[in-house]
Structure 1
């Protein structure tokens, strides 16, 4: 009874061994990274470069600005290239909206790196490569899985437009809270951290992560494939771990950090 209920929301998984293997490996890797964050083994960028890297001077590294660009540019190029690889009329409205959402998601992140964020310090090359590969594989696999789902039975419940609404909310909320962080850094020394205030920062440590989850959930509803939902769940686990570690970092660094401010979900977690 469970599988027919699931199929009312998603396309049947396409009969592709390669896509199944890629989906399992990528989603498991992202979810495991989140559990590692909780255990104290962090991807080495931002404030956690110092926390998790006792031998950081011996590690291959790039500036944070360069690292962040490398995180997002390849995935953006994959999304943009899909409009050349698959003509605009190929696959219908859902396919067009999915490719557009993925491309816009990573274009926004690239533009934020270039125009909004303030950076200091470095990023470890191994972390940069693993995150960049994860985003690129997610983008390519999502698009290709949607492409080969043509001809399969459509989900009984069409979630395309609720997905678009969530995607827009996630993009706007994520940008707004990134803007707050950027303005906060511009008022202080580039290497000095302070407690963020304003927006949902008064309730959770990482509201930008919360809206990123909403963004990815919107993409999943647009796509309605098993892979997109699985990756969104894995991303949620990762961002839960990262936000938990971030809250723990603030509690250790600032004696006046509000104890009632949660990590990711207001009043809950």
Structure 2
């Protein structure tokens, strides 16, 4: 008997899945090539003239704006699609919780040191909004279809909960590095920071993998893979940045995956 892991995909869903994978993956390649989304420590990369002419907003405002539409999409889905199976309930709950957590962190946890470029904010906002909307809509399309023979939604829920907890914890550790009003960077310590410089990215990837296991659609897995490619690029240049700024940065600390990368 053939094991079926994914719901069947229409041509439209397949095309959207492949496009999303390529689009987000290219962003990761651009990061490695020095073309960064302008936020955090990479806000001022590029020429000084370009940086001075860039339209920008305070980082806290920009971050809140880019997560909120995706959160509202998840919230609205409970009203727009009141019916649905248990998998659909878990999927939209996970999407909503993920982006609510990010807004909560923006307001109550993170300590920001600078600004965010409006063009980068729009790119990320559009990407998250599209991903949130598409994850939910494509799950709507699976209603009434035969379930995959291998049901992964419960392992997906467990992985998602572990991942958002790990992501929150490492964001909390990062926030404790900087005094209120401070703008300096320090080498992160605690948790998995002794093994990788971006454990929060690692848990972000695992969180979306959990969502993929809940969803079991081609689109959700392409989103997870695309995000992994992007965050691999972002973590690689983050490690390179720390190496250039701190002579005492431990060389054995990897970028994203302990002992490997």
Helix, strand or coil: the match of 2:178?
Answer: helix
* Further displaced range: 49-58 or 135-144: 49-58
Matched, 1:141 2:134: yes
Whether the 8 Å contact between 1:12 and 1:153 is mirrored in structure 2 is no
| Distance across 1 between alignment mates of 2:80 and 2:244 | 49
* Aligned pairs for 1:1-269 within 5 A: 8-13=4-9, 15=10, 17=12, 19-52=13-46, 54=48, 55-87=50-82, 90-186=83-179, 190-269=182-261
Whether the 8 Å contact between 2:17 and 2:219 is mirrored in structure 1 is yes
Helix, strand or coil: the match of 2:44?
Answer: helix
Q: Give RMSD over aligned pairs.
A: 1.5
Q: Deviations over 1:174-209 (max 9, x none)?
A: 00000000011127x621001001100010000000
Q: For this pair of structures, how many residues does the alignment match?
A: 260
Helix, strand or coil: the match of 1:266?
Answer: coil
Helix, strand or coil: the match of 1:123?
Answer: strand
| Distance across 2 between alignment mates of 1:219 and 1:95 | 11
TM-score (norm 2): 0.96
Q: Deviations over 1:115-154 (max 9, x none)?
A: 0000121111111001111111001101010101122221
How far 1:71 moved relative to its partner? 1.4
| Distance across 1 between alignment mates of 2:243 and 2:63 | 26
- Unmatched tracts of structure 2, length 5 or more: none
How far 1:27 moved relative to its partner? 2.5
Whether the 8 Å contact between 1:38 and 1:245 is mirrored in structure 2 is yes
Helix, strand or coil: the match of 1:62?
Answer: strand
Q: Deviations over 1:237-268 (max 9, x none)?
A: 00000000000000000011000000000000
How far 1:21 moved relative to its partner? 4.0
How far 1:23 moved relative to its partner? 3.1
**Which consecutive aligned stretches of 4+ in structure 1 deviate over 4 angstroms post-superposition?**
none
| Distance across 2 between alignment mates of 1:227 and 1:91 | 19
How far 1:57 moved relative to its partner? 1.2
Whether the 8 Å contact between 2:45 and 2:51 is mirrored in structure 1 is no
Whether the 8 Å contact between 2:28 and 2:231 is mirrored in structure 1 is yes
